[in-house]
């Protein structure tokens, strides 16, 4: 099987739609901005694919769901929230030049969404295809997870249009990830007159940072990284409170359980200090086994493709954990996710759109696998 090049994918049309989406800024947690963005996404879906896109309200903002009708066979999964605050567009407007598209959100992940829509449009018959574009992926997918899992199980296969790995590689495995918040309660006192009367939450936090960092096991892919800390109020007051935020990445379910148990067991070093821990490894690992079948199909379509396990996570972690075949990194080829130099390579856009179309066609031609 080789990739069927339809010749109907227009890069100019994709760039037009990408400009439309980028110029409606969509920072996570800004419900008003995300409502406008969802309407723009729905407009692109309906304009290119026909039918009706349904806006699914949530506390985080509207998710957008579109169906091509017929028996559900494949879910194309993306998100329209971005990490950039309102006003970024004015400083860094959408632009095309030197073979690159730039602007906030072009790589993560509006470019991939546009490519998928245009690829599916080239099929002529979109039956069996569903597209779900969520509003809170960048902040944990708390309001969209149940919907993602429901549609993934209904469809039986998931194509995630997050940006590609370096060099255009597909993402065949992802670490599970989560964050933990460690809050420390001490007791304030005058730092000069009676420092011993206090319980120094900052000193306790220093002990905890070292204990927490020691939980990492990089040899098995587990990283535990304290990322944010705060403590104290004035320079002459023993701090009564401190907090630590920790990023965690794991490759296996066993490591997920070990890390969560270790955080639950954290104990204070200073007498009378108190520790409260919240958080979890909220996105389970995406094992490479979950992508193996779909990646083999992708390789038949485009033999030069490579697959890569990566440290970042996506909504594909949720679907893979359910046993639903999931292939990630099918979106834009470029780089600079979450950074000012974010970009998409223009000359890869048509091929990636055709790859999504070819995968949808191949999945629909196969017998549906038994439910797991």
Closest CA to 326 of 147, 78, 160: 160
Both structure tokens of 325 = 């075949």
Which of 108, 137, 138, 342 is labelled catalytic? 137
Q: Six-digit token pair at 313?
A: 């996570």
The tokens for 343 are 């970009």
Q: What residues does 299 pair with on adjacent strands? A: none
Q: In the numeric block, which tokens belong to residue 272?
A: 């009378």
Reported pTM: 0.90
Distance CA 75, CA 280 (A): 27
- Residue 125 annotated among the catalytic residues of the structure: no
Using one digit for the tens of pLDDT, what is the confidence trace for 146-173?
999 999 999 999 999 999 999 999 999 9
CB 77 within 8 A of CB 327: no
Give the whole-angstrom CA distance, residue 61 versus residue 215.
36
**Catalytic residue flag (residue 166):** no
Write down the domain spans for the chain.
Answer: 11-174+286-365, 176-283
By C-alpha distance, which of 368, 3, 319 is closest to 171? Answer: 319
Query: With contact defined as beta carbons under 8 Å apart, do 244 and 234 qualify?
Result: no
The fold adopted by the segment(s) 11-174+286-365 is: Aminopeptidase (3.40.630)
11-174+286-365 with 176-283: one CATH topology?
A: no
Low-confidence ranges of the chain (pLDDT < 70): 1-7, 369-372
Q: Which class is domain 176-283?
A: alpha beta
In the set 17, 25, 30, 81, the catalytic residue is 81
């Amino acid at each position: 099987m080789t990739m069927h090049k339809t010749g109907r994918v227009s890069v100019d049309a994709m760039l037009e739609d990408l400009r439309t989406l980028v110029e409606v800024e969509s920072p996570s947690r800004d419900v008003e901005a995300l409502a406008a963005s969802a309407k723009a996404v729905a407009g692109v879906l309906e304009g290119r694919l026909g039918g009706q896109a349904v806006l699914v309200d949530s506390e985080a903002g509207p998710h957008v769901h579109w169906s091509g009708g017929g028996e559900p066979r494949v879910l194309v999964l993306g998100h329209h929230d971005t990490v950039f605050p309102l006003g970024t567009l004015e400083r860094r407007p959408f632009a095309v030049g030197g073979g690159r598209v730039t602007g906030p959100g072009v790589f993560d992940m509006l470019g991939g969404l546009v490519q998928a829509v245009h690829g599916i449009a080239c099929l002529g018959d979109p039956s069996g295809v569903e597209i779900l574009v969520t509003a809170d992926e960048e902040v944990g997918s708390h309001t969209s997870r149940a919907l993602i899992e429901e549609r993934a199980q209904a469809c039986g296969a998931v194509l995630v249009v997050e940006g590609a790995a370096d060099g255009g590689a597909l993402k065949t495995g992802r670490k599970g990830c989560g964050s933990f918040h460690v809050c420390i309660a001490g007791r304030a006192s005058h730092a000069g007159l009676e420092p011993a009367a206090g319980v120094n939450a900052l000193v306790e936090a220093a002990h905890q940072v070292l204990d927490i960092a020691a939980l990492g096991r990089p040899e098995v892919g587990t990283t535990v990284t304290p990322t944010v800390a705060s403590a104290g109020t004035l320079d002459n007051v023993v701090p009564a409170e401190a907090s630590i935020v920790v990023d965690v990445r794991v490759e296996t379910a066993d490591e997920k359980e070990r890390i969560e148990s270790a955080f639950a067991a954290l104990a204070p070093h200073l007498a009378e200090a108190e520790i409260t821990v919240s958080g979890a490894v909220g996105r389970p690992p995406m094992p490479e086994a979950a992508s193996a079948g779909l990646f083999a199909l992708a390789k038949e379509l485009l033999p030069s493709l490579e697959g890569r396990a990566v440290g970042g996570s996506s909504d594909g972690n949720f679907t893979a954990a359910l046993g639903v075949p999931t292939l990630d990194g099918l979106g834009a080829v470029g780089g600079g996710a979450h950074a000012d130099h974010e970009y998409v390579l223009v000359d890869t856009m048509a091929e990636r759109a055709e790859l999504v179309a070819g995968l949808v066609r191949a999945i629909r031609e196969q017998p549906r696998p038994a439910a797991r």
